Structures are given as structure tokens and as C-alpha cells.
């Protein structure tokens, strides 16, 4: 049975290099949504900060799962959860 109207869903958004590549867009390695260091003076943060937005204007994003992974600097390294 199909509902008459589709359920309202949040539209989670953050900058994704993999998404940019899949769309044929050259990714930038300086994500506007991920902060790993202070600029002045330049120092690494003890933890990275990630900005995730809900682009939906019709429903809340309560209990949305956000998955992050990290890897060593360089091409070809394994991602760590």
C-alpha cells in the first residue's frame, strides 16, 4: 500500500568529497563544514568539528544518524570509523 503523500524526511547536508566526485565536480580538500585546526596561530584541534545542516524546511531532524570516518593524510589510506 502506498501512502497518498510521501513521508516528510529531513534533508541532511554536509560537504562530501565522495558526493562531489560522483557528481563530476572537482572536490576541494578544504571542506567548509569540517574544522581540524585553528588558523591563527595554526594548531591542530584536539577533536575535529563538523557542521551538519538540515536543509528541510518542513520537518525536524531529530535522531538522524551521522557517520564520520577519518584516515591518515595521503591517498589510499584506509578509513577509520
Residue 45 lies in a domain: yes
Residue 81 lies in a domain: no
Instruction: Residue 78: count other Cβ atoms within 10 Å of its Cβ.
Output: 7
* Domains held by the chain: number: 1
The series of mean pLDDT values per 10 residues for the chain, 81 residues long, is: 80 78 84 83 86 87 80 69 63
Residue 62 lies in a domain: no
Query: Going by C-beta distance under 8 Å and a sequence separation of 6 or more, which residues neighbour residue 51?
Result: 14, 32, 33, 34
Residue 51 lies in a domain: yes
Residue 70 lies in a domain: no
Residue 68 lies in a domain: no
Residue 30 lies in a domain: yes
Domain around 15: 10-56
Residue given cell 570516518 in the structure block: 69
Supply the pTM of this predicted model: 0.54
Amino acid at each position: 500500500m502506498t501512502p497518498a503523500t510521501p513521508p516528510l524526511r529531513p534533508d541532511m547536508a554536509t560537504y562530501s568529497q565522495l558526493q562531489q566526485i560522483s557528481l563530476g565536480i572537482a572536490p576541494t580538500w578544504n571542506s567548509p563544514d569540517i574544522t581540524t585546526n585553528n588558523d591563527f596561530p595554526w594548531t591542530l584541534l584536539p577533536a575535529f568539528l563538523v557542521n551538519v545542516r538540515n536543509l528541510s524546511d518542513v520537518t525536524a531532524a531529530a535522531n538522524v544518524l551521522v557517520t564520520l570516518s577519518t584516515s591518515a593524510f595521503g591517498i589510499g589510506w584506509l578509513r577509520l570509523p
